[in-house]
Amino acid sequence: MKRITEIKRFVLLITVSFMGLMQSTFLLADEIELSGKVGIEQRYFINEGQYIDQLENTQASIFIEPELYVGWNNGSDSLIFKPFYRKDEWDDERSHFDIREFSYTHAASDWELRAGIRKEFWGVTEFQHLVDVINQTDNVEDIDGEDKLGQLMLNLSFVREWGIVDLYILPGFRERTFVGESSRLRGGLLVDNENVSYQSSAEDKHVDLAFRWSHSVGDFDIGSYWFHGTNRDPILTPVLQGELVTLKQYYNQMDQFGLDVQATIDDWLWKFETIYRKTDDDDYLAAQAGFEYTYVGVFNSNADLGWLLEYGWDSRGEGSEKSLGAPVQNDLYLGSRLAFNDMQSTELLMGIGADLSHNSYSMIVEANRRFGESVKASLDIRLMQSNNQYDPLFNVKDDDHLQFTVEWYY
């Protein structure tokens, strides 16, 4: 109840602030643009749920993500507001509201100031984004880690001949979202969204800091950073509450150093990401590396066919307590991407990931095509296999599913 009240207060504060800003900003605006998307999503699970009380085979939801852009001062100043809402048929935890972006940007000739709620993505690899650390994962959207919650930040960016320097002040922390009891794609124990603790005495009000340098040198795009603050990955510990065992969330403090490199050489994309993370409980190295090779105009057509290969490694290894926090520690990924380059922007991505230590695998197929000027249809297929109970994939081994999504853009 307390958490719901805090969310309502947060939404009210943002709404009042937004209305005040809009009133003054509209008077100065050179450009006002309203866009966004509305969609419907249908999942079909091939097997029955692995755990009691999980939904059966179908799960539908609707979502909306509008975006308001206001620019003035000949584009030097701008404001973006992008809320997001999803209503799920069965899972109350997956029905959620978030402000993905609500930020002000001032752009000068050699520096930029960005303030507000934003999403900041770092990384170059396809199957795992090790270096992406700023935003918290929105785990109720999907388990692939691609969806992120908005993060309040102040970002000052300097453009120099020797690279771009970004300084970040991140006031406040957002806990990871987790699905509810009826949902699929979850573990056997539910994560308690009310039982949360922190290493920092400031708890979710801790101010995090980050520094990043990025530069392009010939064929190479390089980025490196240091992050100091609250770990985005919670430590989940079983606790007994009455007769029910749930998972308690604990967020410790960490220092993380990251490096990402991408080299574009002819039809090859070489990709590399690595991090070193240090906490009071542990310190480790992890890396993800691989390549993407593209056949341009395959079979004398307009289509491009790409082949992808990546390998993920984690120094915590396999077979110890530390490896419980390392879902990717000896994994190989193979994939293929087919872009038809037609008027409908038809694309097809297929990939398979194999855990070489646990002898498990997951397979994905993603296909999408545009219809007309404003409708996009997508079909996703995900298959998973695991026989090792210590493998993270074991928790969702019966959740093979198809997902069909239709989005209307305006």
Report the CATH number at residue 139: 2.40.160.100
Residue 384 · residue 401 · CB < 8 Å = no
Our CA angle for 144, 150, 155, nearest 5°, is 120
pLDDT single digits (tens) 247-282 = 999 999 999 999 999 999 999 999 999 999 999 988
Give the confidence band of 13 by pLDDT, cuts at 50, 70, 90. Answer: low
- When the pLDDT of each residue in the chain is averaged and rounded to a whole number, the result is 91
pLDDT single digits (tens) 323-372 = 445 788 899 999 999 999 999 999 999 999 999 988 899 999 999 999 99
Give the confidence band of 174 by pLDDT, cuts at 50, 70, 90. Answer: very high
Residue 320 has a pLDDT of: 47
Mean pLDDT value across residues 150-170:
98
What are the backbone angles phi and psi of residue 200, rounded to the nearest 5°? -75, 140
Domain total for the chain? 1
Distance in angstroms between the alpha carbons of the first and the last residue of the chain: 36
Mean pLDDT value across residues 178-201:
93
Q: 14 versus 371: which is more confidently predicted?
A: 371
Mean pLDDT value across residues 302-325:
80
Within a 13 Å sphere around the CA of 129, how many CA atoms are in the beta-carbon half? 16
Residues ≥6 apart with Cβ < 8 Å to 289: 125, 271, 272, 273, 310, 311
Residue 198 · residue 206 · CB < 8 Å = yes
Mean pLDDT value across residues 127-134:
96
Give the confidence band of 121 by pLDDT, cuts at 50, 70, 90. Answer: very high
pLDDT single digits (tens) 30-89 = 899 999 999 999 999 999 989 988 998 999 999 999 999 999 999 899 999 999 999 999
Residue 210 · residue 227 · CB < 8 Å = yes
Q: Which domain holds residue 378?
A: 2-409
